[in-house]
Structure 1
Amino acid sequence: MADRRHALDRIDTTVAHPARRYNYLLGGKDNFAADRASAEAIERAMPTIRLAALENRAFLQRAVDFLAQQGIRQFLDIGTGIPTADNTHQVAQRIDPAARIVYVDNDPIVLTHARALLTSTPEGVTAYIDADLREPRTILDDPELRATLDFTKPMAVMLVAVLHFIRDDEDPQGVVDTILDALPPGSFVVASHSTWEYLPAGAIEALEAANADGRFRARTGAQLEHLFRRLDLIEPGVQSVSRWWPEQASQPRPSVEDVAFNAIVGRVR
C-alpha cells in the first residue's frame, strides 16, 4: 500500500504522459486532460492515429504469439503502457501457462494498474518494474527482473512503440546495444517505431508543431534497421506493422500511410 501511495504522489496530471495518451487513443479511461489534449493535437495532424495505435497493439499480440510458438517462454516488455486486453503475458500464457513475463514502465499510473491487473497463471510468473528505458542498466540489474527471468536461456524483449520517445541526444543506439549485450543467443527482439516517411509534408509539419517539447523522435525504416543491425531479422524485415503477418490480422489491411509505424522482429546471434 505504501508503494502505491508513493507512486500516486509522483503523478503530474498537468503534463501529458505517453502511456496515458496511448491509453486514450486506444479508447481507455485512465488518462487526464493534458493527455487527451496532447492526443487530440496529434489526431488533428494525423487523423488515423487511433487506427495506428490499434494496429500497433495488434502487431504486439501477433509477435508474442509467434515467439511463444517458437518456444520462447520468457518476455521482457519495456514500455508496456496501461494494461488492456490481451497483454503480453496473456498471449504467451495461453500457449504455455508457465511463461514468465516482466513488464517495465515509468508512469506511476501504469505501476498501480499493472500490479492490480497483470496477474499471472498459477504456473507462470508476472512481475512489474518501475523504470525508464533511457536507463537500461537499471532495468537489467533490477533484482526482481533477475529473480524472474533466466538470462542463460533465450527470451524476447518487447520494445513496442517506445523507442521514439528516446531523443538522438539520449543515445538510442547505446540503449539498444546495452540490452542486446545482455541477451543470450537465440533470444528475440520485437520493436515498433513511429515513422513520418509515408506522410505528406503538411501532416509532418503539423506533427512537428504538436511535438513542441521535442520528446518524440520519428525515425525511418532504414534508421530503425540500423539500430538493430546486430540482429538477424525475421522476414519480412523492416515493414509496416500493418504488413506483419497480414494473413493473421483483420481484413482489409490498412495502408502504410494510415498506420505510419514500422516494425522488426530480430534474432540474437
Structure 2
Amino acid sequence: MTTVAVTGASGKAGRAVVADLLAHGYDVRASDVTGTPGDEGDLGTSLIHADLTDYGQAIEVLAGAHSVVHLANIPAPGRATPPATINTNNAINTNVFLAASRLGLRKVVWASSETTLGLPFAEPPRYAPIDEAHYPLPTTTYALSKVVAEETARHISVLSGIPFVGLRLSNIFQPEDYRHVPDFWDDARLRAWNLWGYVDARDVAQAFRRALEVPTSGSQSLIIAAADTIMDRPSADLMAEVFPDVPLTRELVGRETLLAIGAARDLIGYEPEHSWTDEVTGG
C-alpha cells in the first residue's frame, strides 16, 4: 500500500483529497495546524497536529510517506496581514519541499493557485481563455507566495530529481455551496474577478490523485477548474459584456471554462466530473 502524507488535511480541499485517497486504497498520513490530534472525526483517518513553519515538524509529518499532497497554507488573501501571509506560506512551502527532498519522497503534488495568473482581474486579462502562459501576475502577497513556491519547487526538483506538480486551483465549491450559484447570474461582474471560474472539491481530489499516479518529470504547474463557468450564459456573451476589448484566442463554445484546463487534461488525464448544473434545479 502506498502511503501519502496530506498536509492541510482539515481544510475544504484537504478533506476531499483524504476521502478520495482512502477510497482508492491509499494509506494517508493526515496533518494540519488545526484540529484535534488523533481524532478521526469525519476525516476517516487520524490527524497529526503540526506547525509546518517549523522544519523539524515538516520532517516528522513526511517521514515514512512515499509521496506528499501539500495543501497547508494560509488559503486566501485577507485571512492574515499581507506580510504574515507571504512569510508564513513561504516558510511552510519551503520546509515541506526541502523535507521531501531530504527524505527522498517519490513525488510532491501541491496546491498553487489561480491567483498566480493575475486574479482578481481588476485589470482585464491579456487574452482569454487564460492558460498556463498567463503567468506570473501576482496582485496580492498571497498570490506572490504561490509564485515564489512555484519557483522554489522548480529549483528543488532540479536539485533533488523529485517530480513536482503544482495545481493552480480555481475557487473550490462543495455540493452544498451550489445553492448560492443562482445569486451570481443577474450581475456578470460579481464573478468576473476570476473569469467566472470554479472547481468542485471532488474534482480537486481526483486531480491530486491523478497527479500522484501519472509519471511526470521536473516541476509542472497546471490550471485545475471545472469544465464550465459558474454562469448560466454563454462564455462569449460574458466576455463581450464585461471584457469587450480582451482578445479571444479561439471561438468559445457554450459555457466552457475561461480558465483553460487543456494542459491538465494532457499531462495527468484530468477530466472534470462535476458541475453546478448537477445540483441546481433548472441548470
Q: TM-score, with normalisation over the residues of structure 1?
A: 0.43
Larger radius of gyration: 2
TM normalised by structure 2 equals: 0.41
